[in-house]
Amino acid sequence: MSAAVDAPRPSLATRAPLLIVLCGCLIAMLSFGPRASSGLFMLPMTGEYGWGRDTFGLAIAIQNLLWGVGTPFAGAVADRFGVTRVLWIGAALYAAGLALMAYSATPGLLHLSAGVLVGFGLSGCSFNIVLAAFGKMLPEKWRPLSFGAGTAAGSFGQFLFPPLAAGLNTTIGWHQTLLVFGLAMLLIMPLAMALSGAPPASKAGERQQSIGAALGEAFRHPSYVLLVLGFFTCGFQLAFVTTHLPAYLMDRGLSITVGGWTLAVIGLANIVGSLGSGWLSSRMPRRYLLAGIYFARGLAIIAFLLLPASPVTAIGFGIVLGLLWLSTVPPTSGLVMLMFGTRYLAMLYGFAFFSHQVGGFLGVWLGGLLYESLGSYDFVWWLSVALSFASAIINLPIVEKPVVRAPVPAAG
């Protein structure tokens, strides 16, 4: 009787793993939606305040950079104290940034709101933290597909929010649209409660590491360094396309509606791409999967640049790019977990994501800067092609094995 009373209660991850996945996916969807819609606010804001595209581009570049800077620190806090507090703080900052962005009549305020506040907010409540929670909380058999599902949910946010932003901008105005999006971010807080379970206890015989030792081990590991370097390209391309594609399509004679729907179909197609990538990550070498994704992206961009501009080619490009969009995330996070385990997964994936966001900073910033100086986006598009092929090559030498560690001495 007492044994039954004293038996530990099964964790939520054991009793209801689907609930954890569902709430995590809703968080990923909500957090990814507004930032995927940023390009739809560029022309209304620059037109109203007389700014150049480089001013708006710098704000989104700051957002991408600070999202990357904050993610390893948010991950370290989540690894140590759990993800719920991190998600709450991130959601509050995100909501505040979107609300302030609605009233940002100067470049400084825009950089503070859309750049600093939204950037740090994303570092605390985006799919990166959700995927790390999945890796820690869920049974091993759930992990590969849950990584794909969490990434796909972010893509559904990209499918849902850009057309919503385009429609609301037309009906209630861009100021009010940002306020609505800010309120929506507060929904993350109750959803985060499902991810409040403590991380699993350390396994017997597992080596205990400090944060500094874990970082030193990772950055001395050549395969981790290659993975981090290759992820730079993903960020460069995603941020550039998200921010500048609607304006690029308008420059080529298409409507803002086509731009919104192109971003939307990228998100929709990426639901398929991310789930497929999560499924393939457990069935083929992840380095080959990553190399193939980057190589295919380069070919897709070349075709898009050489074909005549039309709604058909724009939407077609969105579908193809969407299949390859965030499909890099499941194999990347899976490789980090394979190499180093789950103890510092949020932090170590956070450093890989920092490289991603440095690429994002440069993609957005160079897009606006070179457009203002050269009058077109062509140079940045072709630079994106070159980076695709470089990353395909970089990922090939990765060794898909756990890091070699000295055995833990037996207790005396």
Walk along the chain (412 residues) and give the pLDDT tens digit of each residue: 444 444 444 455 555 778 888 998 899 999 988 988 888 898 889 888 998 888 888 898 899 889 888 888 888 888 777 888 899 999 999 999 999 999 999 999 999 999 999 999 999 988 778 877 887 777 777 776 787 788 778 878 877 888 889 889 889 999 999 999 999 999 999 998 888 764 544 444 455 677 788 888 889 999 999 999 999 999 999 889 988 898 899 999 898 788 888 888 887 888 888 888 888 888 899 999 999 999 999 999 999 999 999 999 999 999 999 999 888 988 998 898 889 887 787 788 888 888 988 998 899 889 888 988 998 999 999 999 999 999 999 999 999 988 876 555 544 4
Domain ranges (residues) in the chain:
17-198, 214-404
223, two tokens: 């395969």
pLDDT of residue 4: 45
Residue type, 131: L
Residue type, 373: S
DSSP per-residue letters across 121-165: HHHHHSHHHHHHHHHHHS-GGGHHHHHHHHHHHHHHHHHHHHHHH
Tell me the C-alpha to C-alpha distance, in Å, between residue 85 and each of 29, 77, 109, 195, 257. 19, 9, 27, 10, 38
pLDDT of residue 405: 66
pLDDT of residue 412: 45
- Which residues have C-beta within 8 Å of that of residue 5, sequence separation ≥ 6? none
Tell me the C-alpha to C-alpha distance, in Å, between residue 195 and each of 13, 82, 201, 202, 275. 9, 8, 16, 18, 21
pLDDT of residue 72: 84
- Helices 286-306 and 311-323 pack at an angle, to 10 degrees, of 170
291, two tokens: 């190399």
Instruction: Report how far residue 334's alpha carbon sits from residue 76's, in angstroms, rounded to the nearest whole number.
Output: 18
pLDDT of residue 393: 96
φ/ψ of residue 410, rounded to 5: -65, 145
Q: Global pTM? A: 0.75
pLDDT of residue 302: 97
47, two tokens: 């037109």
Tell me the C-alpha to C-alpha distance, in Å, between residue 328 and each of 119, 302, 305, 355, 371. 21, 20, 23, 13, 28
Within a 10 A sphere around the Cβ of 344, how many other Cβ atoms?
A: 26
Q: Examine domains 17-198 and 214-404 and report if their fold is the same.
A: yes
Instruction: Report how far residue 292's alpha carbon sits from residue 392's, in angstroms, rounded to the nearest whole number.
Output: 7
Q: Select from 144, 121, 110 the least CA-distant residue to 32.
A: 121
Sign of the dihedral through C-alpha 231, 232, 233, 237: positive
Burial class (CB in 10 A: 0-12, 13-18, 19+), 251: middle
100, two tokens: 């302030």
pLDDT of residue 407: 57
Tell me the C-alpha to C-alpha distance, in Å, between residue 312 and each of 230, 254, 301, 306, 315. 31, 11, 15, 14, 5
Q: Select from 192, 239, 182, 233 the least CA-distant residue to 66.
A: 239
358, two tokens: 């440095």
**To which residue do tokens 């109203």 refer?**
48
The topology under which CATH files domain 17-198 is: Growth Hormone; Chain: A; (1.20.1250)
Within a 10 A sphere around the Cβ of 132, how many other Cβ atoms?
A: 31
The domain 214-404 having CATH identifier 1.20.1250.20: the answer here is yes
8 Å CB contact between 39 and 166: no
Instruction: Report how far residue 271's alpha carbon sits from residue 95's, in angstroms, rounded to the nearest whole number.
Output: 25
**3-state DSSP: the chain helix, strand, coil percent, rounded to 5?**
80, 0, 20
